Amino acid sequence: MTSTTLYERLGGERGIAELVEDIVAAHMQNPRIQARFLPYREDPARLEEVKGHLRDFLSAGSGGPHEYRGRSMPEAHRGMNIDEAEYMAALDDILAALDRHGIDPQTRLEVLGIAYSLKEEILHV
Ligand code: HEM
Whole-number Å distance between alpha carbons of 7 and 13: 8
Q: 35 CA distance to ligand 1 centroid (A)?
A: 13
- From 6, 54, 95, 98, the mutation candidate for ligand 1 (largest count of ligand atoms within 8 A of CB) is 54
Please name the amino acid found at residue 78. Answer: R
The dihedrals phi and psi of 9, each to the nearest 5 degrees, come to -70, -20
Domain ranges of the chain: 6-122
- Cα 51 to Cα 25, 57, 90, 114: the distances in Å are 11, 10, 15, 19
* Homologous superfamily (CATH) for 6-122: Globins (1.10.490.10)
Nearest atom in ligand 1 to 87's CA: 27
pLDDT of 47 reads: 97
pLDDT of 2 reads: 55
Taking the model in full, what pTM does it have?
0.95
Average pLDDT for 66-82: 97
70 and 76 in contact (C-beta within 8 Å)? yes
ipTM: 0.97
Average pLDDT for 68-75: 97
Question: What is the pLDDT of the chain when averaged over all its residues?
Answer: 96
Average pLDDT for 42-46: 97
